[in-house]
Structure 1
């Protein structure tokens, strides 16, 4: 018994020491990981045990969503970021998750200025007062990974100082590996679903956001591309970066005065909202069809609208999350949307299958963002969901995973358009952008070129007429433009099933 008591005492002491170390010196990384493993196991086992025709599936979804949401709120940091990414695709999740996960888009809490000042000193080896003439100690913006303070340089330049939350870098390794371990268990042990490859790609992409050197590189590349475009350079501005004042965890940029697109009433009152959104979609077409450099976090807070010399300008912010598409992938993506434009089912199927997807009709529906399509897995039937998911993700070794983030970008922009009552014909803009690229690269005879040009103009004219009709219909039915497109694309996808 004395030996047992001694062993228990040593164990208790060691456990207390580890707990205190984790709480005060390790940013609670072990506690967060333990909490993640516990909740993930609880949710997984709950689904494993309580799934069946005689079970209350709705209640199962609700309590699982509550557990996941509470976990994200307690762990904060990257968990909020990952939860937001899932929330953008919540239309494919059960109702409980649809209701809770979008709550994660609320403003993230900011750190106190002394913590940020200490991190700046650690990163640069300089005192804030030696570099800046003035810094506002109150953050003007805060997100899951960093916050922004307004500052002024000795030469009078106003700057935005983006500083990482002090514990983010330390927690990244724990959080991302916990996520990958959890998905591996779900994939290989609990549900036998092809999710791990995708989850790993998402996790690795998120990790790049903690390195501001990558964000600076993205910002400078996008600035160069925009300024080299004859049309966009007069509509879009990408703030410059102060390389000499920036590090992996601190980034100093030109200050951007403007009104965020999240300020809907003010934008509608003071600017041309339709023109601003049209520019966003025009820029996106350039990114996905030509440049192969895609800004994947285009939420309303990352776009500012301002006026310069009487001309409305769109300011593009936050370049941490990008995907870079190969020339082949960019060309295929343009050809895919041109296939949608032409109704070329054979071409669509050819591209989708080359990418390793086994269901062209599901891909069409997911890519064009229909809200409800009966063959997209909704998890209301386990076996059906497994078969549909395996069929859709037929060969994950060939799937261009960049498309997952491109789809996320389209989903965010669809939501942005909805916020303003859909003033932009989103589908027309995307189809038009793809057809323009394909027409520009047309390699057939001159006659075929003019026939294709004539067809393109005819289709766009019909689309404009339909758009006007929908607008008139909205006055009487209050049915949004995006809702119309959702139902139309659903029918198109179902027709594709029959013809494929």
Structure 2
């Protein structure tokens, strides 16, 4: 029943419709912030229940939405932030049929033996442990037989919801680019469903980190891997955050942290793909201290243009070249081309009132946190690839805290950062670092009162900047919705006359009358607001 097309679409659309109704009702009745917090928490719980009821693609969508704190209310995010992509396994006969179909031969011709109980079972595929004919133990990742049909159904449902939200969601125009959000989610999931992408990513990682010692990335077997099956070397190890294991094997935790951070620095700052889901289950450690990276299904990519823009962005921030900073943010996709550049420049001027010497003393995680707070406070929609990048950064930060709870992170990561800087051909990063070190204090030291007052002024300026667009868009949305309801009311009136149905006729008359009245009221309020705003 869960995979029935009609059932899934009805369940998804009814949930989305219920959210719209509840949100509009709360706006109409002007509920206080505490009530809104309760509403979004309840919507989050309902969403979570719907995900686990329908399984399939929706759990993956839930995971992607759980990292969009830049777009969704915190109360909603809290209910889904710990979603685990684990669903009951399919029957062995179904998975066996997929294997034999993809291999074009009986399973016995490829495998010496296989454990029929999945060692991992997620929404898109399952993993089995087996042994090849030559005796090599392998992990076999198999796509669920019905997943592509489910994805097609769910994307159709999601497209309807996005279309409706783009036109009728009670948010300021341009505040959330629903179409871009949908396309990014679709692109991420379609990439993850095609196992050829994961195969190619593993090959790229093996080549990229071939010269890094004490790092193991599983070997993949091309002759047995397809778009629906991927066969790779079976790897044993413990979670890198297993402190008892580290102590038992006398693994130097500080040195382990340095190596872990060294592996991810080039992924974050250089052009290429990066591991977007490096949780403790995907980062293992062996008894000899060797690190193991697993599961390359979810990755992001930094283009050469992105990497150059990152460097330019840091330069413009250090130089306080705010017009150029805005240009870079637009080029990176954080701001739309029609954004109010002057207003954002003024906001940046207030928010970036820092002392360059304080910046030298900050660790990379603190700098990242400050930049994140700036981005989230601006009227931006962070592209998904950068959300993945941020999640990767935060996840590794959490691991380092767990591995070295008593160590300052700057002392742990600084040697790895300097090692990367010296070994890589990153001349621009070196130039930025050297430039920051030699600057005199007086050139960048703002008056104390400016530093104290800047946060409050930034908040006030941000609110003023958004207020105009917020009010105008709200009134425009109300008028648009009233117009649509008026048209539906007129259609209902004619339909009632044609069918000689008093109920339909009267219903259309009521809807049309109320919506016309609503349109007039919204127009009057908008005119009054414009006059007040000008004053």
TM-score (norm 1): 0.71
Contact kept in structure 1, 2:60 and 2:85, CA below 8 Å: no
1:32 is aligned to 2:8: yes
1:195 is aligned to 2:178: yes
User: d(CA) in 1 for partners of 2:137 and 2:454?
Assistant: 51
The one of 278, 284, 292 equivalent to 2:272 is 292
1:163 is aligned to 2:142: yes
1:404 is aligned to 2:387: yes
The one of 197, 222, 228 equivalent to 2:205 is 222
Shift of 1:59: 2.4
Counterparts in 2 of 1:37 and 1:224: CA distance versus 1, 3 Å: same
Count of aligned residue pairs for this structure pair: 418
Partner secondary structure for residue 37 of structure 1: helix
1:392 is aligned to 2:369: no
Tell me which residue corresponds to 2:299: 322
Gaps of 5+ in 1: 1-22, 378-387, 394-398, 460-489
**CA deviation map 1:237-268 (0-9, x unaligned):** 21111111111111100111111336454345
The one of 235, 242, 256 equivalent to 1:256 is 235
Partner secondary structure for residue 296 of structure 2: coil
Partner secondary structure for residue 122 of structure 1: helix
Counterparts in 2 of 1:57 and 1:292: CA distance versus 1, 3 Å: same
Contact kept in structure 1, 2:265 and 2:420, CA below 8 Å: no
Partner secondary structure for residue 193 of structure 2: coil
User: d(CA) in 1 for partners of 2:141 and 2:403?
Assistant: 29
Larger Rg: 2
1:59 is aligned to 2:47: no
Contact kept in structure 2, 1:345 and 1:496, CA below 8 Å: no
**CA deviation map 1:15-39 (0-9, x unaligned):** xxxxxxxx4xx93233112211110
1:279 is aligned to 2:256: no
Tell me which residue corresponds to 2:90: 111
Shift of 1:165: 2.1
Partner secondary structure for residue 135 of structure 2: coil
User: d(CA) in 1 for partners of 2:328 and 2:73?
Assistant: 30
1:48 is aligned to 2:33: no
Tell me which residue corresponds to 1:478: none
User: d(CA) in 2 for partners of 1:426 and 1:105?
Assistant: 31
Shift of 1:284: 2.1
User: d(CA) in 1 for partners of 2:314 and 2:248?
Assistant: 34
User: d(CA) in 2 for partners of 1:158 and 1:144?
Assistant: 24
User: d(CA) in 1 for partners of 2:220 and 2:55?
Assistant: 28
Shift of 1:199: 2.6
**CA deviation map 1:201-249 (0-9, x unaligned):** 122111111111111111111111111xx4x2x1322111111111111
Tell me which residue corresponds to 2:156: 177
Partner secondary structure for residue 301 of structure 1: coil
Tell me which residue corresponds to 1:465: none
**CA deviation map 1:333-383 (0-9, x unaligned):** 24435667x575646445224334345879999992469959947xxxxxx
Counterparts in 2 of 1:435 and 1:127: CA distance versus 1, 3 Å: closer
Partner secondary structure for residue 297 of structure 1: coil
Shift of 1:194: 2.0
The one of 331, 349, 352 equivalent to 2:329 is 352
User: d(CA) in 1 for partners of 2:66 and 2:428?
Assistant: 42
Gaps of 5+ in 2: 336-343, 353-364, 442-450, 463-535
Cα RMSD, aligned residues only: 4.2
User: d(CA) in 1 for partners of 2:16 and 2:87?
Assistant: 24
User: d(CA) in 2 for partners of 1:493 and 1:147?
Assistant: 52
User: d(CA) in 2 for partners of 1:185 and 1:333?
Assistant: 35
Tell me which residue corresponds to 2:434: 452
Partner secondary structure for residue 252 of structure 1: strand
Partner secondary structure for residue 89 of structure 2: coil
User: d(CA) in 2 for partners of 1:142 and 1:121?
Assistant: 19
Contact kept in structure 1, 2:195 and 2:230, CA below 8 Å: yes
TM-score (norm 2): 0.67
Contact kept in structure 2, 1:238 and 1:315, CA below 8 Å: yes
Shift of 1:405: 2.5
